[in-house]
């Protein structure tokens, strides 16, 4: 990663869970601190980060390494209230600029998030991007060729690229 001055900086992972160490080093983290740690151990990690040379990991690689697992619930703010939508109940997500409309059980909730970031957080074995605007849970699919028909009866358009991805998953 580049710092504001254009210098390379190292990344140090800090967590209370030792099972994430392998993932940290897969993206070339400089060090891994397991909580609780002492002052000397922190100073050593910071020194290593300052001395780091070579290419730093990309933001996407760091995000992938930091992910503990696929998203299981989606928090959606509705005024002062927060609703936790179970991913297992999500039929599909529809992109709406910098928002996604999350369809579940015939209702839609609006969340400020891009569809690309939502797609990255969901298990690809359960969800497929069928169009630039739609991400669908595989269990909710019907059998139409140019349109995905959800179990609830709602139809969503499928682009050429989305059809190819969908076909590859369904024929596997």
Strand partners, 2: 8
Question: Which pLDDT value is given to residue 134?
Answer: 95
How many structural domains does the chain have?
2
Using DSSP, state whether 23 is helix, strand or coil. Answer: helix
Question: Which pLDDT value is given to residue 56?
Answer: 54
Q: Are residues 105 and 21 in the same domain?
A: no
**In angstroms, rounded to a whole number, what is the distance separating the alpha carbons of residues 76 and 150?**
22
The answer to whether the CB of 14 falls within 8 A of the CB of 33 is yes
Q: Are residues 111 and 159 in the same domain?
A: yes
Q: In 10 A of CB 93, how many CB atoms?
A: 27
CATH code of the domain in which 116 resides: 2.40.50.1020
Phi first, then psi, for residue 133 (nearest 5°) are: -105, -5
Nearest to 160 by CA among 145, 139, 143: 145
Q: Which pTM value belongs to this model? A: 0.53
The answer to whether the CB of 10 falls within 8 A of the CB of 56 is yes
pLDDT in tens, the chain (172 residues): 444 444 455 677 787 776 666 666 666 777 878 788 888 888 888 888 777 754 555 555 555 555 556 888 888 888 888 888 999 999 999 999 889 999 998 899 999 999 998 998 899 889 999 899 999 998 887 665 578 888 888 888 888 888 888 888 888 7
Phi first, then psi, for residue 95 (nearest 5°) are: -70, 135
Q: Are residues 44 and 60 in the same domain?
A: yes
Q: Are residues 42 and 120 in the same domain?
A: no
Q: Are residues 103 and 159 in the same domain?
A: yes
CA distances, 4 to each of 1, 9, 44, 46, 153 (Å)? 10, 10, 23, 18, 51
């Amino acid at each position: 990663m580049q710092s504001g001055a254009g210098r390379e900086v190292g990344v140090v992972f800090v967590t209370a869970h030792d099972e994430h160490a392998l993932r940290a080093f897969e993206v070339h983290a400089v060090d891994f601190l397991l909580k609780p740690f002492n002052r000397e151990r922190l100073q050593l990690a910071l020194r290593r980060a300052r001395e780091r040379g070579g290419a730093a990991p990309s933001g996407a690689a760091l995000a992938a390494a930091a992910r503990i697992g696929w998203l299981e619930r989606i928090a959606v703010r509705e005024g002062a209230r927060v609703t936790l939508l179970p991913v297992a109940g999500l039929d599909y997500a529809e992109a709406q600029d910098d928002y996604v409309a999350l369809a579940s059980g015939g209702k839609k909730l609006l969340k400020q998030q891009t569809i690309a970031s939502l797609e990255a957080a969901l298990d690809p074995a359960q969800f497929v991007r069928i169009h630039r605007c739609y991400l669908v849970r595989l269990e909710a699919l019907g059998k139409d060729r140019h349109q995905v028909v959800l179990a609830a009866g709602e139809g969503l358009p499928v682009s050429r690229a989305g059809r190819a991805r969908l076909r590859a998953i369904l024929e596997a």
